[in-house]
Structure 1
Amino acid sequence: MSDLTMRPATADDLADIVALLADDPLGAARESPGDLAPYRAAFAAVAADPQQHLVVAERAGRTVGTLQLTVVPGLSRQGASRALVEAVRVHGDERGSGLGSELIGWAVAEARRLGCRLVQLTSDASRTDAHRFYERLGFTASHVGFKLTL
């Protein structure tokens, strides 16, 4: 994928990122790409936090993917930092192209570069195709996750 560019997201990318987040059945039910107001403050907070790495993937000047990598310092595992991968999205017409593997490969390499000793992610229980994808990349479904909506 030599024509792919990974770069930090900017405020100018916000509409494209939110459109990617909304481009599946789960995202369509919870995202509002027509109203960017609630996303602007969130983007500013992410951009201001040095532990957050929100990136976009571009091909031919077009945003085709995104993910957020969060570095979490911790005491467990002998004081190891871990990287949390969130909001991995690939544009609909790029699915199956290898772009998802490129995005995750970037996240793992960046986590190593940042000194993390573990990369973890969650995936909605209904996303069985995504689960198979992550397992093919070497991730293990080792834990059960819980969420509480506030």
Structure 2
Amino acid sequence: MSDDLEIRPAGHDDLPAIVALLADDPLGARRESPDDLTPYTEALDRLIQDPNQHAVVAVRDGRVVGTLQLTIVPGLSRRGATRSIIEGVRVHADERGSGLGTRFIEWAVDESRRQGCQLVQLTSDTTRTDAHRFYERLGFTASHVGFKLSI
């Protein structure tokens, strides 16, 4: 495996690979629709237009091998702190254990610093215990209980 990894903004040509990554696990298989890219195209258009959104891909040897979304959130709490939220982290099965996940999160933390953030947050489904250990190894702490409401 070569080390010519590039982390760059996601483009429309990357969508099939991104959606395949999002769908490539038991949770994603239930909620993603790789056969219809229309909603993903519309979502990527919105992300590209918003300067606080960073949808990125990791590319190695011309192939998308990972994706994540970084959102910058200005706020009033914590003395007006700006925070970032890391979401949708996926690494291709062939790349797991290669260090790509670590490099990806390091990129997101570095970009958060560059954007003036004082806090980096992420959520992970309760069933993703391997991911929880991974994030803890990188210095994240499980500090909150999250809630969702589908509307």
Which residue is equivalent to 1:29?
A: 30
Query: How do 1:18-97 residues align onto structure 2 when only pairs under 5 Å count?
Result: 18-97=19-98
**Does residue 146 of structure 1 match 2:147?**
yes
Q: Which runs of 5+ in 2 are unaligned?
A: none
Number of matched pairs: 150
Q: Output one character per residue of 1:43-73: Cα deviation in whole Å (capped at 9) or x when no partner.
A: 1111110000010000000000010000000
Q: Percent identity?
A: 71
Query: How do 1:61-140 residues align onto structure 2 when only pairs under 5 Å count?
Result: 61-140=62-141
How many angstroms does 1:39 deviate by?
1.0
CA distance in 2, matches of 1:120, 1:107: 11
CA distance in 1, matches of 2:45, 2:6: 23
**TM superposition score normalised by structure 2:** 0.97
CA distance in 1, matches of 2:58, 2:143: 29
Instruction: Look up the equivalent residue of 1:50 and give its one-letter code.
Output: P
Query: SS in structure 1 opposite 2:78?
Result: helix
RMSD: 0.9
How many angstroms does 1:75 deviate by?
0.2
CA distance in 2, matches of 1:132, 1:56: 23
CA distance in 2, matches of 1:25, 1:99: 21
CA distance in 2, matches of 1:78, 1:116: 12
